[in-house]
Amino acid sequence: MHTPRRRSVQIPTALGGLPWSKSSRWPPVEGTDGALWGTVFSGGLGGGNGYKSYVAIYRYERGGRLDTVYRFGQDGFMGCYPEAGLILASDGNFYGITAGGGRVFRLGLDGEYTVVHHFGVGQAGGVRSFPLVQGPDGALYGGCQSGGEQGVRTICRMTLDGGCADIHHFSGGGPRVGKWPVGSLVATADGRMYGTIDGPLEADAGSVFVLGKATV
């Protein structure tokens, strides 16, 4: 039986090295520039001036340099508190989502930040809470754990220019139907999307679901 060799872990740069940062919930992604890009979800007071940090997006170079690319403010119109990590889409830009304001944003390698979609509470779409993923058709897919039509949980499909539509609603009704999608979706070679969902299947034990291909 093969025994894996243990490996050491090094911490060349801590996120706490930036005055506004505290922790990140999601791993960074590699950009086309070779650097690692990520989000910081929790922070505190920064700069010694009492400014409340609504956290940020950072860029890390392998040599140890850590920079703030974009810092979120209190303006809900632009979004704040990036709840999930970034994804690198096929157009070379990063996309992400904020818990504050329910915004989907685009971030270029030059640091340009653009809001491409706003999820309205109580409207189709709801409040998103887990990461986006790019599907085989080039669109972004994500989901919500609250909001949507009649308050149910949904999965949505969004084009890179911000056009968005809900494509499935989890009603939670019946013993074989789940209610709360958790984690991100994954796209497979067969053109389908898979994910996980909590309850009520098997007494709230959760289940794996498959999102079928689009039909005309």
| pLDDT digit string, tens, across residues 59-111 | 999 888 888 899 887 666 787 778 778 999 999 999 998 877 778 899 999 99
Which residues touch 178 (CB under 8 Å, ≥6 apart)?
A: 170, 172, 197, 198, 199, 200, 201, 206, 207, 209
- The range of the structural domain enclosing residue 167 comes to 119-216
**What mean pLDDT do residues 51-56 have?**
65
Which residues touch 64 (CB under 8 Å, ≥6 apart)?
A: 12, 13
* Digit-coded pLDDT (tens) for 136-172: 889 998 876 555 554 557 788 889 988 888 777 776 5
Question: Which of the four pLDDT bands, split at 50, 70 and 90, describes residue 119?
Answer: confident
* Greater pLDDT, 33 or 200: 33
Of the listed ranges 22-36, 91-105, 192-206, the one predicted with least confidence: 192-206
Please, is 213 exposed, middle or buried when counting C-beta atoms within 10 Å of its C-beta (0-12, 13-18, 19+)?
Answer: exposed
CA angle 63, 64, 65 (to 5 degrees): 105
Question: Which of the four pLDDT bands, split at 50, 70 and 90, describes residue 4?
Answer: confident
Per-residue pLDDT at 182 = 67
Residue 125 is assigned to a structural domain of this protein: yes
- Number of domains into which the chain is organized: 1
Residue 216 is assigned to a structural domain of this protein: yes
Residue 69 is assigned to a structural domain of this protein: no
